[in-house]
Structure 1
Amino acid sequence: MAEPSRTPPPTDAARVAAAHFRYYDLVMAAFVAILLLSNVLGAGKVARVALPGIGDWPFGAGILFFPVSYIIGDVLTEVYGYAHARRVIWVGFAATVFMAAMAWVVVALPPAPDWGNQAAYEAVFGQVPRIVFASMCAFWAGEFVNSYVLARMKVMTEGRHLWMRTIGSTIAGQGVDSLIFYPLAFLGAPGWTPHLVVVVLFTQWALKTGWEAALTPVTYLVVGWLKRVEGVDVYDRDTNFTPFRARV
């Protein structure tokens, strides 16, 4: 697949540390919105799909949302560099912590006597603490692995083969995410046998990577457009890759 055309010349990450970008904040907002949706709507539900010759196959419903956050993470790292992606990851992590705290408070509030939806509300928003904790740990580790691998591969390939970088970083990042989340959240939980945990874990890993590959043409279009309108193509040659800072 051809690389995005008419992109700006390579720019070292240190030169754009204090730059103001036209669409960076909007990309950050999209990342956080999709992250929160994936945690609210799909984190704890196991759905199923009928596969020819195999039968019903279970998968986590979060697959519909969460992989898109990795694609946006790839776009952030590819266009703006690791440091700007790192800042977005920390913003997303803080938003997830705040959402979890507010959900706990709201669920714990005594319901009005004539309001009969408390049980349903608890079922939707009252996720058990271990699932919330597992989700936060998996997101944090997986996103940083994804961004780091993509940034390092970009320098190694001198900006060629974007498809290889996005898919390769997703294999690593989603692998770490799934390996942390499913055992930590569901191993030993009611209804979750060890076999089911392993099946859903590897199914999620494969499906998320498949999503990334399937949406590669979209990633190319978005990356190419953003590089042109922002006027940058950042390379992390001398970047400090520590995840323990939010400053660009």
Structure 2
Amino acid sequence: MPNATAFEQKKQFLFLFLCGLFLTNALIAEIIGVKIFSVEALLGASPAQLPLFGTKLDFNMSAGVVNWPIVFITSDIINEYFGKKGVRRISYLTAIFIAYMYIAIYSTTSLPPAKFWLEINSKDSFGNAMNIDGAFNAIFRQGLGIMIGSIVAFLIGQVLDVTIFSWLRRRTGSKHIWLRATGSTLFSQLIDSFVVIFIAFYLFGNWSVAQVMQVGSINYIYKGCVALLTTPVLYVAHYLIDRYLGKENAHQLANDAAASSFTTM
């Protein structure tokens, strides 16, 4: 059955592509997540200074938010076409790779720096004295708390996302893609946004609870807005997958995924 074989090959490639996109962006987000950037400075605006949690709140976010929207979208697409089992499989695998990545990176901070490397990087681009090995260690040794926080928050968020997505899929059928995708993301990221920062920067860092609530709130507002704004991307992705697999095959794959998710609810 050449047609069936061709479909299976396309289905396998689609799953591998989506998993690769999911895993790559999750790892990148974890690596760059140690940096906190100012949205106001990025836009050339003054600090917002919004009153919240007993202090003035500026729009400061983890740089990891740049890549996480791709992870959200990819997770929903995998859930749509490969069910809860597919999402959980790549989620658990990603958590293992995140842990491996941090262990590998963290171990390099104990390596003795080469003398010439310290000398040629003794000053920054502004001419200020700099210890590049100290800077390297200061950045990546934040990784232990971030690793633990990220893995815990990531797994909680993914389990919540896939569960809510499947629950909404069961009640809406093949309609209202935006509802199950956006609804599951908004709920799961409410937990994820605060758990990762609390563990990484409060339990393992020196942040106050107020700072955790500030940055967590801003991150969640950002993720919520992105979830809403990227809804058209989901429809484009569905259209492209319909074209790639064939509309009937794509719909059958989605129905099979939904049926398998319902049996494991």
Alignment of structure 1 residues 35-184 onto 2, 5 Å: 35-41=26-32, 43-50=33-40, 54-55=48-49, 56-116=58-118, 117-184=132-199
1:11 matched residue in structure 2: none
1:102 Cα deviation from its structure 2 partner: 0.4
What value does the CA root-mean-square deviation take over the aligned residues? 2.6
What percent identity do the matched residue pairs reach? 22
1:99 Cα deviation from its structure 2 partner: 0.4
1:224 matched residue in structure 2: 239
Alignment of structure 1 residues 23-34 onto 2, 5 Å: 23-34=14-25
Gaps of 5+ in 2: 1-9, 50-57, 119-131
Gaps of 5+ in 1: 1-18, 243-248
Rg comparison, structure with higher value? 2
Conserved? CA contact 1:142–1:173, under 8 Å: yes
* Paired residues, number: 226
What is the DSSP-based 3-state SS (H/G/I as helix, E as strand, rest coil) of the residue aligned with 1:192?
Answer: coil
In the superposition, relative to structure 1, how do residues 21 and 220 fare at CA in structure 2: closer, same or farther (>3 Å)? same
What is the DSSP-based 3-state SS (H/G/I as helix, E as strand, rest coil) of the residue aligned with 1:115?
Answer: helix
Q: Which has the higher contact order (CA 8 A, sep 6+)?
A: 1
1:233 matched residue in structure 2: 254
Distance 2:46 2:142 in 1: 34
More helix by share: 2
Distance 1:228 1:176 in 2: 35
Deviations 1:33-76 (A, max 9, x none): 101110111x2222222378945422222211122211110111
Distance 1:20 1:223 in 2: 14
Q: TM-score, normalized by length of structure 1?
A: 0.81
Q: Tell me which stretches of 4 or more aligned residues in structure 1 moved more than 6 Å.
A: none
